[in-house]
Amino acid sequence: MADVETRRSPAGQRVWETACELFYREGIRSAGVAEIAERSGVGKPSIYRNFESKDGLALAYVNAKAVPARDWLAAARAACPGDPRAQLRHVIGGIADQISEPGYRGCPLVNASVEFPDHEHPVRKAVVSLKAEYLDLLTELVAQLPVRDHRALGYMLQMLVEGASVTTQIYSADRSAASLKEAADRVIDSFLADSSTAGSSVPDSSLEER
């Protein structure tokens, strides 16, 4: 879990970089080990000397891809201490920027979970675990806001982020990025307005865990 991916061998390092790029660009299943080896300029055995299997490589890839997102949440907290609204704007804005970058092809974790529909597959289980952890962190951030149901708001924001991420691949990256920021603002404002008034036209979320 805490395994930071620092490959020892030079060939292993090249494999790691190539695999990360190829897994993201072409998908994990589409990228064959022969292709990874060729583009890395190494032989196939060099892959298996540094990684247990292709699944193991994919697992490391998925775990590695989750790190920047976690770091970005922590950075937002540090960037705007005491101002949860600005922290959220920081987070959402960063995601919108990432989405707008050329070559963005959706969330790598979501893509991986689509590529491995079997719920028992280690990659899939890792994605579920990592995403749950991310949602918890985001919800903690939201909890700083004076809203009644911060868990509902956190889930809604996460849903928006995933929606923006996936629509980028199908519609327009620019529209998704802008729409994400605007929608997040509107939803957050709506929750804040709910909590600052007595009655609410929008019913309280009756969601419970699990």
Contact residues for DNA, defined by CB under 7 A: 9-12, 29, 31-35, 41-49, 53-55
183 binds, among a copy of itself, DNA, none (CB under 5 to 8 A by kind): a copy of itself
CA distance 18 to 4: 17
Nearest to 174, CA basis, from 61, 97, 86: 97
Single residue of 5, 7, 13, 27 touching a copy of itself by CB under 8 A: 27
Using the structure block, give the residue that is written with the tokens 């939201």: 142
200 binds, among DNA, a copy of itself, none (CB under 5 to 8 A by kind): none
Nearest to 129, CA basis, from 176, 51, 66, 181: 66
What is the per-residue DSSP string for 140-160? HHHTTSS-S-HHHHHHHHHHH
Task: Return the number of the residue (33 or 86) whose C-beta is nearest DNA.
Answer: 33
Task: Return the number of the residue (43 or 146) whose C-beta is nearest DNA.
Answer: 43
Q: How far is the CB of 114 from DNA (least distance, A)?
A: 17
Q: How large is the C-alpha radius of gyration of the chain?
A: 19
Nearest to 205, CA basis, from 128, 159, 155, 152: 152
Q: How far is CA 141 from the centre of its chain?
A: 16
Task: Return the number of the residue (46 or 113) whose C-beta is nearest a copy of itself.
Answer: 113
The residues of the shown chain that bind a copy of itself, judged by CB under 8 A, are: 25-27, 29-30, 105-106, 110-111, 113-115, 117-118, 127-128, 131-132, 135, 152, 155-156, 158-164, 166-167, 169-172, 174-176, 178-180, 182-183, 185-187, 189-191, 201-203, 205-207, 210
